[in-house]
Chains A and B, each alone.
Chain A
Amino acid sequence: MTFYLPIAEIEINLLIILFFGFIVGFMSGLFGVGGGFLMTPLLIFMGIPPSTAVGTESVQILGSSVSGAIAHGRKKNIDYEIGSFLLIGGIFGSTFGIMIFNFLKESGNIDLIINILYVIFLLVIGILMLIESIFSLVRKPRILKKIYKKKRNFLDYLPFKLRFRQSGIYMSILLPVIVGSFTGFLASLMGVGGGFVMVPAMIYLFRMGTVSAIGTSLFQIVFVTLNVSILQATYNLSVDLILAVFLLIGGVIGAQYGSKYTSKFKGEQIRVFLALIVIIVCIKMGLELINEPPMNSRIIIQDAF
């Protein structure tokens, strides 16, 4: 079932794409993560050019997050006020990111930047997750009765404060705009949704509830990946629809099976396993950086007329 991917410009077996889509979808369901930060490196390992992997992954994330966002919307888990400011930042950050992407693609350095960003992010996430989950496994379970006292920090002194009624938060609108911009920037350069940055930021910086943070994050991801998908296709010609569709099909089915196995493991065990996968992917990405490419030169088609 070999097929020529028209934008990635390589011939690939579609069953392999379905299989990897399924595997990453399974892990997404099992670990409760988006999967973009695992899928993009995997596509690069399969020989898909990094720029096409990033652009295509945006389309896949859009498809896989839309039904989750609708479901959270129905359950009223989305704070639309905070989500709107995250979205404003996200649109700005992702559009700026696409401009940088375009500049780097023209100069030939986009692959290097994508690989470096992945190595840094995966290393940080993998190590933090591994340390946290190992400590959780080793420590004896304790029931902590912690009286949470809100301490004022520098974030409370930011200007343009607004009361967000649904979440009961009083904070500067700059905070969601900055977080949204950062994740939008990452979405355009790395082909990720950015939930792994946004959800912890919303819980620890905005002090939102976990469910509301996840719902609002998905709301922002849908519109930011929509923006990234259209801009990537328009300016960078880096969206391979055939690849995206097969990844989406494999991913959606895999996620359903993965979520069924979540209850069979302890949370800490799952996190150790995920951390190890992230670190292995990080090492492989690092090797990609130092391994000499087999070809001396390559041709990038810019325009056909």
Chain B
Amino acid sequence: MHFSFIKIIFLFSLFLHSFEIKSNVLIFDVSQKKVSVSSDSEDTHFTIYGFSNSPKNLVLKITGPNQKVVLQKKKKVFGMWTWNKTGEFSYPSLFHYYTNIINNEIDFHVKKDLVDNIKLIGKDDDNLKKELIDKKMSIDLFSIKNESFELLSDGAPLFFRIPIKLPKNSPAGKYLVSMNLMDKGSKFETKKIQIFVEKPGISSFIFEFAHRFSFLYGVFSAMIAIGLGITAGFIFKKN
């Protein structure tokens, strides 16, 4: 009697588990794991290919490398305009969300996820976070693109593809791509796929060099200036 009861419980849990897996199948992959973002290219940088057995609320999330920033707001002092430090943040430099449909649930989840992932150093303040999000949205580093899935099949199971174009000002570094399936308050998240974004060109090299090896960058800049100055002096002396 006791054994039969355990057997029933085991079979029932297996059924529930299989139901969960069966109802939330969401698989995706990226077309390439090394992406080059150049300033002159207008093409798609990479494509997400995926499959889900349920055409529910699907969200693709891309996050950029972390950065620490200061938000400054304008302030008037004795009739003159200046900037006032209002908050210090630590957060992924880029947040891009792509959804298959648009509705209140998906909108709420995406915006909540965005706010939750921005860490305000010191005292928490949602208004400051909102200010920062608006600012980042204005320069395309944060964005929510609804109804951006290109369906490759009709109805369930759903095969889809999402063309991704990163903005020109995307920082180079490690990015994480993940997908979420949302259904009536429950959320299923896939494992994260890491991609590496590189930015060819001198601008990106200078940015990385200046931020990662500031002292060496300073010495290098000074050496370049001295070299150019001496070369110019030599050329014009000859002339």
Candidate in A4, A245, A293, A297 with the most chain B CB atoms within 10 angstroms: A297
Interface size class of A (residues with CB under 8 A): 35 or more
Q: Interface code A274-305, partner B: CB below 8 Å = 1, 0 otherwise?
A: 00000000000000011111011111111111
B9 part of interface (Cβ distance < 8 Å)? no
**A297 and B67 form a contact (CB under 8 A):** no
| B226 with A295: CB separation less than 8 A | no
A172 at the interface (CB under 8 A from B): no
CB nearest to B205 among chain A residues: A6
Tell me the smallest distance from the CB of A275 to a CB of chain B, in Å.
25
Q: CB distance A231 to B218 under 8 Å?
A: yes
Stretch at the interface among A136-144, A201-209, A233-241: A233-241
Instruction: Find B93's partner among A65, A230, A239, A304 (CB 8 Å cutoff).
Output: A304
Contacts of B226 in A (CB 8 A): 62-63, 66, 226
In the complex, the answer to whether A304 meets B171 with C-beta atoms within 8 Å is yes
| Distance, CA A301 to CA B136, complexed state (A) | 12
A67 with B222: CB separation less than 8 A: no
A108 to B203, CA, bound (A): 25
Taking CB atoms, residues of chain A closer than 8 Å to B168 are 4
Interface flag for A252 (CB, 8 Å):
yes
Cβ-based interface call for A256 (8 A): yes
Quick one: given A66-B233, A293-B74, A304-B67, are A108 and B85 in contact (CB under 8 Å)? yes
Per the 8 Å Cβ criterion, residues 184-239 of B in contact with A are 202-204, 206-207, 210-212, 214-215, 217-222, 224-226, 228-230, 232-234, 236-237, 239
- B132–A107 contact, CB under 8 A? no
Which of B10-18, B51-59, B75-83, B110-118 forms part of the interface with chain A?
Answer: B75-83
Known pairs A109-B82, A237-B211; A300 contacts B72 (CB<8 A): yes
The answer, among B77, B80, B219, B233, for a CB contact under 8 Å with A68, is B233
Would you call B225 and A63 a contact (CB within 8 A)? yes
Cβ B215 vs Cβ A230 within 8 A: yes
- The minimal Cβ–Cβ distance linking A250 to chain B, given in whole angstroms, is 11
Q: When A239-B217, A305-B68 are in contact, do A6 and B132 touch as well, CB less than 8 Å?
A: no
Interface presence of A111 (CB below 8 A): yes
Which residue of A232, A249, A292, A298 is within 8 Å of B218 (Cβ)?
A232
Q: Which of A108, A116, A230, A291 contacts B219 (CB 8 A)?
A: A230
Q: C-beta contact mask, B57-77 vs A, less than 8 Å → 1, else 0? A: 000000001111111111001
How many interface residues does B have (CB within 8 Å)? 58
Asked whether any CB of chain B lies closer than 8 Å to the CB of A59, the reply is yes
Tell me which residues across on chain B come within 8 A of A296, comparing CB atoms.
73-74
A290 touches B225 (CB 8 A): no
| Residue of B with least CB distance to A291 | B81
Q: Name the residue on A nearest B39 (C-beta).
A: A4
Q: Enumerate chain A residues within 8 angstroms of B86, measured Cβ to Cβ.
A: 297
Instruction: A63 to B224: give the CA distance in the assembly, Å.
Output: 8
Q: Closest CB-CB distance, B147 to chain A, in whole Å?
A: 29
Q: Which of A64, A241, A252, A291 is B224 in contact with, Cβ under 8 Å?
A: A241
Alpha-carbon gap, A290 to B78, bound state (A)? 9
- Cβ contact within 8 Å between B69 and A305: no
Instruction: Give residues of chain A (80-117) contacting chain B, Cβ–Cβ below 8 Å.
Output: 106-109, 111-112, 115-116
Is B230's CB under 8 angstroms from A301's CB?
no
The residue among B67, B82, B88 with the most chain A CB atoms within 10 A of its own CB is B82
By Cβ-Cβ distance, the 5 closest A-B pairs, closest first, are A67-B233, A233-B218, A63-B225, A108-B83, A230-B218
Return 29 A-B CB contacts under 8 Å, by A number: A4-B168, A6-B204, A6-B210, A59-B225, A66-B230, A67-B230, A67-B233, A67-B234, A70-B230, A112-B77, A112-B81, A112-B82, A230-B215, A230-B222, A233-B215, A234-B217, A237-B214, A241-B220, A245-B224, A248-B229, A252-B232, A289-B80, A291-B81, A292-B74, A297-B73, A298-B71, A299-B135, A299-B136, A302-B68
Give A residues with C-beta under 8 Å from B. 3-7, 59-60, 62-68, 70-71, 106-109, 111-112, 115-116, 226, 229-235, 237, 239-242, 244-245, 248-249, 252, 256, 289-293, 295-305
